[in-house]
Amino acid sequence: LVSEVIRFILFKFHQSSGTPIKREDLTQIVTKNYRQRNLATHVINEAKKKLSNVFGYDLKELQRARASSTGQSRLPQSQSSVDSKSYVLVSELPLEVFKKHVVDETTSPVTGFTFVVLAIVQLAGGKIPEETLWHHLKRMGLHENDEHNPVFGNNKQTLETLVQQRFLQKEKVSGPEGSTLVYDLAERALDPQVSEKV
């Protein structure tokens, strides 16, 4: 079971380019054949140890439930806190070794885009309307409707990828002028390792 969970984590994480893996997906692997209580938690913890010892990855847990500006949880009340958990893989290699042997130069522009967007949102107080974010990105030559950017392809889709990877959260907010989209920092952006780099 532990090997199955590890295989799923490795394939899913690399296949979906860093998008977090839901705990419920890992739990389903365990519970499809076994119904023992707390077995899923034990298997995930064992997988976490093996990922660290064998592959040099830390299976980092993200808590999805965060209070929004209205003070309510973003998840429906019926969902338990277990369902709100997801995981990402983080390399445990020292930075120098990681840069020398792992970093792919072709992903550097996307990493730069990620940190620029996170810095803009952080400087805006952790929350920024979509229109204002695109105003700042436009000043750097990144236009919202550019679908043929030589580096990113579709700029809007690249920003949406940051939402899928849980660096940003997107929320529709109603106001006097109608509803607007607001981006705020999500779990991965609030992680101390990431926020200190920003």
Q: Which residue matches tokens 């700029």?
A: 155
Higher model confidence: residue 128 or residue 96?
Answer: 128
Distance of CA 19 to the CA centre of its chain: 6
**How many residues comprise the chain?**
198
Whole-prediction pTM value?
0.63
Question: Which class for 136: exposed (0-12), middle (13-18), buried (19 or more C-beta within 10 A)?
Answer: middle
Structural domains of the chain, with CATH: 2-101 (1.10.10.1200), 105-197 (1.10.10.1210)
Distance of CA 56 to the CA centre of its chain: 19
Distance of CA 44 to the CA centre of its chain: 19
| Encoded tokens for 109 | 């522009």
Closest Cα partner for 45 from 72, 5, 81, 75?
A: 5
The pLDDT tens digits for 71-121 are 444 433 333 444 468 888 888 877 777 767 666 666 677 788 888 899 999
Query: Does residue 165 surpass a pLDDT of 60?
Result: yes
Q: Output phi, psi for 47, to 5 deg.
A: -60, -40
Q: In whole angstroms, what is the distance from residue 23 CA to residue 6 CA?
A: 13
Query: What is the pLDDT of the chain when averaged over all its residues?
Result: 80
Higher model confidence: residue 27 or residue 155?
Answer: 27
Asked if 160 and 97 touch (Cβ cutoff 8 Å), the reply is: no
The pLDDT tens digits for 166-191 are 889 898 888 787 888 899 988 888 87
What would the mean pLDDT of 148-177 be, rounded to a whole number? 84
